[in-house]
Amino acid sequence: MPATFEDIFGSLGIEERLDDDPKFVEAVKDHLDQAFRKRVDEIWEEGLEPRSFDVLVRIFTDGAELDKMFRCLILDCLVPTEMISDNSAEEMIFWVICNCIEYPDECAEVLRWLSPMVRFNMVNDYILDQKYNALLKRLLYPQLVKGLSEILCLAAKPVFMTKSNIDLLEKLCEDQYNDVYIRTILGEYAKYVPHLVDRKFHFVKPQVWDSGKIPDFDLVIQNMARRAGVESIKQFPTPHILCRGLPSIEYQVRRKDENLKKIGEVKSMVELGRALERLQLPTNELALLQKEEGVMMIIVDGPSHNFLASLSIALSKSPTKTLIAAVSGLQDLLSYGLPPVTPFLSDFLLCWDGRHNEEYVYSLLPKLYFRNFKELKEGIFDHLLRVFVANSAETKMKILDSLLLLITHMIAVDRRRGNVDVCPTITSPKWISESDATIASVIEYVIEMWKQGIILEGPSCTLLVLKSILFYQKLNQLIIQCGLPIFFVIHQSLSCTALLAKNHVILNELCLLILQYKQHLIPLFEQQGLLGEYELEVESVMALADSTYKYLWERVGGERPENFHTTQDEFTPSDSIGLEHLGLYPIVAGIAKELHRNPRQMNKNELMSVLESFISGVAEFIKYEEHDQLRQ
């Protein structure tokens, strides 16, 4: 028969007095401490009946100032005889979420208590679902990482494996020196969404949270779960397999005297190196993607003819997401594209709606293998343009991000000057022999897509306008770093849209782009003796810089906000820093309000200080142009 504290709680009037004064527990703590210690052995044998369990949870969560030893004693007594009530489970989890800063050690003990409850299905799944993202964010506190990692792995579902959550985990893993427990969560996520998780986490081995025998408390909870008939199938994470759905590793029968070692028997990279000359490969070499050692063998020797043939067949038969993720990851490691991917992606784009299986496009496009620009345009770009025009601004930005990655990859290949075959089975593409012209053609095509996107979405789509400017910044950065002899000026329609966008962030990035042209790109071309070939482009940059400077500094073309009131007649245009520009005025006016100042009464230096603090690109641009005019 389950243990109970009804007699003690009744005599002290615990339930009623908790409602009136939670601090009452402190007055009777010593009495409760003795009672709990006397019955803890009985509780571990028979469990605690539900009503006493729920009251004990209230004492734990409502008790204002309970010491750590007393809280740990309460946790030892919280042994349920059936599934924990939703209210009690929610209270305990919520207590951890709210007290992880003030009581980190106690929260770690609660998580240690909660882990077997989750593992043996003593907590309803939907309670964990409701609090999953909040618990994930508590990984910021190092004391809680170990306890949270097991709970987050056991409660993981694909719906929680979003890009934002994965980015957070990867950032935490980096900040906490590659923490083994956070790596375990990422390894668990990689089983379900390998295309979202960095390749280096795909082969993480499951962490054993408690080495050796199962702790006594965990055995107690396991026995209670069995008695209640709710013991969960949830156990410690199963060994990670990168790509479910790939061909199994099967071999042809060999003679025993051939002394061959099967790739499936290789347990480490060191062993792979030693056995490289006598490895027996699977019948279907696509199965190599299931093992880290198999992937490494492909990287070392290059994809064989058999591997490429198997991949071509697999891609022609409705490939799974895991296969696409595996191929994408392999291309990232190889740093070059695989020929069978191009016809597959071309056929896929013919019927793609821009949303369904979008990871196929965004993961395969950046490392695409093609022979020349004509093949790329007709097989990929023209199909992609149809999708681009017909979809939302969000899809447009995703497509253009992928195309920027493709341009980056092409420039990287060109810098390696791979005029030799990338591997024995894949010939070097023809476009490399005329790389500058091909890269320029791709960039021109992408810029035309940007222009169409701006026309279709309109100047009010500030995200697309901002993304366009950032594209030019990244493009200039690649040209400067790699010394490419190409020069692309931001299109006039885009610069005008950015200038009049009524958005200080866009204006800030536009100013930074103009500075990038004048401070880095033009001096580089002058140093290389190429400036004469791009006279029109240089003139366009200078004209843009001049018009932007006048618009910000001399109030040319600006508008006066309706609620703007001039308080000083002597405030001349030459002292203005774009107060009439609708993108800047809210910033300046807002800061002035916080400082209890009228922006019209702030002098030039004070206004510049505001710009330097909040939109530094604009301030830097204005200073540069002032000095530039003085030099002239």
pLDDT tens for 526-553 read: 998 888 888 999 999 999 998 888 777 6
- Give the sign of the dihedral formed by CA 315, CA 321, CA 323, CA 325: positive
For the ranges 342-356, 362-376, 568-582, 616-630, the lowest mean pLDDT is seen at 568-582
Average pLDDT estimate for 337-349: 92
CA distance 189 to 206: 12
Closest to 140 in 3D by CA, of 163, 111, 169: 169
Secondary structure of residue 169 in the 3-state scheme: helix
CB 584 within 8 A of CB 618: yes
**Residue 476 banded pLDDT, cuts 50, 70, 90:** very high
pLDDT of res. 21:
65
pLDDT at residue 596, as a whole number: 72
pLDDT of residue 417: 58
Least reliable range by pLDDT among 5-14, 107-116, 221-230, 326-335? 5-14
From residue 478, how far is each of 164, 251, 490, 505, 508 by CA, in Å?
27, 47, 15, 23, 21
The candidate with the shortest Cα–Cα distance to 329, out of 288, 273, 301, 357, is 288
Closest CA to 498 of 487, 506, 490: 506
| Statement: residue 380 has pLDDT above 90 | yes
Among candidate residues 125, 129, 147, 126, the one with its CA nearest the CA of residue 138: 147
**Residue 623, pLDDT above cutoff 90:** no
pLDDT digits (tens, 9 = 90+) for 480-530: 988 888 899 998 888 888 877 767 888 889 999 999 999 999 999 999 888
Mean pLDDT of 181-194: 82
pTM for the model: 0.60
Q: How far is CA 209 from CA 112, 128, 206, 233, in A?
A: 10, 20, 9, 18
| Res. 445 pLDDT band, cuts 50 70 90 | very high
Task: Specify the pLDDT at position 567.
Answer: 37
> pLDDT digits over 560-612, tens only?
334 333 333 333 333 444 455 545 666 666 666 666 766 666 666 777 777 78
The answer to whether residue 395 scores a pLDDT higher than 60 is: yes
Average pLDDT over residues 417-426: 64
